[in-house]
Amino acid sequence: MADQNVIVLGGSGNVGREFLSQVIQHDTVFSNKHLNPTNIIALTNSKGFWFNKQGLEIQKNPENVDKWKHSKEAFNEYMQCLDQYRKYDNLAELLKLIDDEGMSGEVVFVDITSGKDDLRDFHLKVINDTEESIVTANKNPLSIYSTKVFRELTRFRERYGFRCTVMAGANAVSNLLDYYDTSEIIKKIEACFSGTLGYLCAELEKDERSFSQILNDAKRMGYTEPHPKDDLNGRDVARKLIICARTFGHNVSMSDIDLEGFIDESFLNIEDVTEFMESIKDADQEVKRKFDSAKSKGKTLRYVANFNLCENGDSTFKVGLREVSPGSPLGNLKGSSNKVIVETDIFNGDKKYIIESPGAGPDVTAWGLRRELLSRLRGRKGGDYKLT
Amino acid sequence: MADQNVIVLGGSGNVGREFLSQVIQHDTVFSNKHLNPTNIIALTNSKGFWFNKQGLEIQKNPENVDKWKHSKEAFNEYMQCLDQYRKYDNLAELLKLIDDEGMSGEVVFVDITSGKDDLRDFHLKVINDTEESIVTANKNPLSIYSTKVFRELTRFRERYGFRCTVMAGANAVSNLLDYYDTSEIIKKIEACFSGTLGYLCAELEKDERSFSQILNDAKRMGYTEPHPKDDLNGRDVARKLIICARTFGHNVSMSDIDLEGFIDESFLNIEDVTEFMESIKDADQEVKRKFDSAKSKGKTLRYVANFNLCENGDSTFKVGLREVSPGSPLGNLKGSSNKVIVETDIFNGDKKYIIESPGAGPDVTAWGLRRELLSRLRGRKGGDYKLT
């Protein structure tokens, strides 16, 4: 049967609510619209979960989406009226429930949390001890632990979809996986993986506002992490590079990456957000100097993740600001878009493979998750949809 | 079992021999190297086929690839010594053979021919009357007949892989299919689908040689079709646009496309190649005028396939030379690379999805076919390859 039962982990956040709303409007089993319908049978938050074997009630009323989509509070309130909420101690209780309900092997977990150890443990348990599947936008389980954990999780291609962990709306990860599984050696990767840092570069090269002004505005508009150092230290970009490199077979961890933050380390150690935002005025001059220096050479700056397989077989991994020509594939990248340039044995020289896609955003990530669900379907149906 | 039996249709041509050589070096069931091995059990040419249920002998000797890879003649000679050759009247005899051998439902046909009616009939027969699958680089069955034929062929997503019919090394088609199957409406497509015409544009904008000189050189280097009018009339580009548009649900045929050739129609009607190559000197002035005119406006020219979903629900399909800004996504395309820019409900404005990949070539197409074979595997294994 070309449909699947889904349990959403962390469904009440921004991406979670967007995902739910897209599923309800396009894919849900209750609408009879989709040839490969999705049935959301459970939804978790940090303290408990809603569960209904026949599918959560919320899916039956697409016209109510606007009532709960705009805020977590409204969502929780709406859900309380519709479905029974159960508290739990840990995620593993969900696995027992699936077993008790006779649904073993029929469930896909969609991880939209930013959980770490507990989610790593849960992912491993699902893959190693059950027949359920996982589709994840949470990159932590794949990037902040050892390559061994990565390999354990991703070894069943159909049961672990992780395309949304890097350039969520794109085929970047699945493409690298295809190269790897066809024994096509990756020689080089160059990528801009951060929408936020891409936006900063694009604004800085206009030379209209100072770095601290741009960052302040970006933070106010919600373009940055709650603490902008989590963008500026480059660790998120490095984690994406780690996932890519592991995807094509490398044993690599954070300590193998030559990582330089967007600004000096001394700023990035300030834990207090207000203090941090005050301090970064002192970075303006240095940032401006770097951009001016690039400009004087006819170049511009991008925050680039780079993998290089050297002639002697060694590999280098670098993340940091790099001077590029404005007309080059990374130099011509605009705004917050992401881009990855891949070179392999076959795809090289003038024959590179390049993907450019939006720097995420809840709608893009949510769509990516729906696509990933679809892609893993056996017996996926198609061909007689209506366009309307 | 994560392997598959493959019958190659048209295996002795350039792409066919490259495909065979890649399979033999990386994927064959005999090498014990690949977790998802491919077993080539038959190979056809126009008059007959080689068949061996256990796998063609040629796969057992990777060290001999260089003996037959460089020419069709050498290949045929090599094959004669190894495997029994049988003549046939039509491809349908292969289906009877599969049945007789008890292999029903276990075979994938890889179509690397440029066949038309006979291949359309065969594809339809395979999809409608058997349980075998098809992976095709041959775009004719999907583009030169009705949308009905397209829909009939592609309705089982897992049994008909056609990613290699447009931008063979890329995910362009599968991405459009994913948009369609997730009900994500495509609003606009802009694409450069011809490596040859891309090369001509790139050379012409340098303003160093005349159009006829560039075309003569390109023909000599094997960059063009045997008769270059088959590139210049834009019909191949239009066929790719048709496949894309049908992939996301449109009922469209050649007559719906507003098609303008690279040069004037009067040249494109000359059937004799020598006469044609003589005549095109007379096109030089007009081509130069167009490029000069674009340049005077700060623009350049690209040969663009365009789909547009209008506000009123109508669709337009255009193929022809178009003025674009040099820094725009199509304007910054270099050499013979292809590019497609997709806009949807979610992916729009600054959030477009863009794929750039090589303008085919046998190695890219052959790799694309191997990837397509892999992608359709149930139980695809991964995770413990060695990099060497």
Best mutation site among A133, A135, A182 for testing chain B: the one with the most B CBs within 10 Å? Answer: A182
ipTM associated with this complex: 0.94
CB contact under 8 A, A180 and B385: yes
Best mutation site among B171, B182, B357 for testing chain A: the one with the most A CBs within 10 Å? Answer: B182
Question: Over pLDDT 90: what percentage of chain A?
Answer: 82
Residue B379's CB is within 10 A of a number of other CB atoms, namely 12
The residues spanned by each domain of chain B are: 2-169+362-374, 184-344
User: Residue A219: pLDDT above 90?
Assistant: yes
Give the pLDDT confidence of A289-339 residue by residue, as tens digits. 999 999 999 999 999 999 999 999 899 999 999 999 999 999 999 889 999
CB contact under 8 A, A347 and B356: no
Quick one: pLDDT at residue B383? 58
User: Residue B32: pLDDT above 90?
Assistant: no
Residue B306's CB is within 10 A of a number of other CB atoms, namely 18
Give one DSSP letter per residue of A323-387, joined into a string: EE-TTSTTTT--TT-EEEEEEESSS-GGG-EEEEE----HHHHHHHHHHHHHHT-TT-B-S----
B357 touches chain A (CB under 8 A): yes
Quick one: pLDDT at residue A387? 43
Residue A42: what are its φ and ψ, rounded to 5°?
A: -155, 160
Q: Which residue has the tokens 């849960």?
A: A122
Quick one: pLDDT at residue B269? 95
Collect all residues with Cβ–Cβ distance below 8 Å to A157 and sequence separation of at least 6: A177, A181, B380, B381, B382
User: Residue B386: pLDDT above 60?
Assistant: no
Q: Among A189-193, A233-237, B63-67, B83-87, which stretch is predicted with the lowest mean pLDDT?
A: B83-87
pLDDT, mean of residues A158-168: 95
Best mutation site among A159, A353, A372, A378 for testing chain B: the one with the most B CBs within 10 Å? Answer: A353
Give buried/exposed letters for B269-305 (b at 16+ CB in 10 A, else e). Answer: ebeeeeebbeebeebbeebeebbeebeeeebbbbbbb
A32 touches chain B (CB under 8 A): no
User: Residue B388: pLDDT above 60?
Assistant: no
A175 touches chain B (CB under 8 A): yes
Question: Over pLDDT 70: what percentage of chain A?
Answer: 98
User: Residue A388: pLDDT above 50?
Assistant: no
User: Residue A378: pLDDT above 80?
Assistant: no
Give the pLDDT confidence of B103-143 residue by residue, as tens digits. 999 999 999 999 999 999 999 999 999 999 999 999 999 99
Q: Which residue has the tokens 């590179």?
A: A352
Going by DSSP bridges, is the β-strand pair A300-309/A186-192 parallel, antiparallel, or unpaired?
Answer: antiparallel
pTM here is 0.96
Quick one: pLDDT at residue B1? 44
pLDDT, mean of residues B222-251: 96
Residue B182: what are its φ and ψ, rounded to 5°?
A: -105, 15
Asked whether B229 and B267 are in contact (CB, 8 A), the reply is yes
Quick one: pLDDT at residue A47? 85
A181 touches chain B (CB under 8 A): yes
User: In the β-sheet with A85-87, what is the strand arrangement from edge to edge?
Assistant: A85-87, A48-51, A38-44, A4-9, A107-111, A133-136, A160-161
Structure tokens at B334: 């270099």
Question: Do A2-169+362-374 and A184-344 agree at the fold level?
Answer: no
pLDDT, mean of residues A237-264: 97
pLDDT, mean of residues A47-70: 92
Interfacial B residues in 85-124 facing A (CB < 8 Å): none
CB contact under 8 A, A383 and B26: no
Quick one: pLDDT at residue A5? 95
Give the 3-state secondary structure of residue B50: strand
What CATH number belongs to A2-169+362-374? 3.40.50.720
- Given the candidates 3.30.360.10, 3.40.50.150, 3.40.50.1100, 3.40.50.12780, the CATH classification of the domain at A184-344 is 3.30.360.10
Q: What is the mean pLDDT of chain B?
A: 93
Reported as a pLDDT band with limits 50, 70 and 90, residue A383 is low
CB contact under 8 A, A352 and B358: yes
User: Residue B385: pLDDT above 60?
Assistant: no
B251 touches chain A (CB under 8 A): no
Collect all residues with Cβ–Cβ distance below 8 Å to A310 and sequence separation of at least 6: A316
Structure tokens at B320: 């022809």
Give the pLDDT confidence of A72-97 residue by residue, as tens digits. 999 988 988 888 899 998 899 999 99
Going by DSSP bridges, is the β-strand pair A160-161/A133-136 parallel, antiparallel, or unpaired?
Answer: parallel
Structure tokens at B366: 């052959």
Reported as a pLDDT band with limits 50, 70 and 90, residue B83 is confident
Give the pLDDT confidence of B334-367 residue by residue, as tens digits. 889 999 999 999 999 889 999 999 987 899 999 9
User: Residue B261: pLDDT above 60?
Assistant: yes
User: Residue B29: pLDDT above 90?
Assistant: no
Q: Among A121-125, A230-234, B80-84, B174-178, which stretch is predicted with the lowest mean pLDDT?
A: B80-84
Asked whether B160 and B359 are in contact (CB, 8 A), the reply is no
Quick one: pLDDT at residue B2? 55
User: Residue B305: pLDDT above 90?
Assistant: yes
CB contact under 8 A, A374 and B178: yes
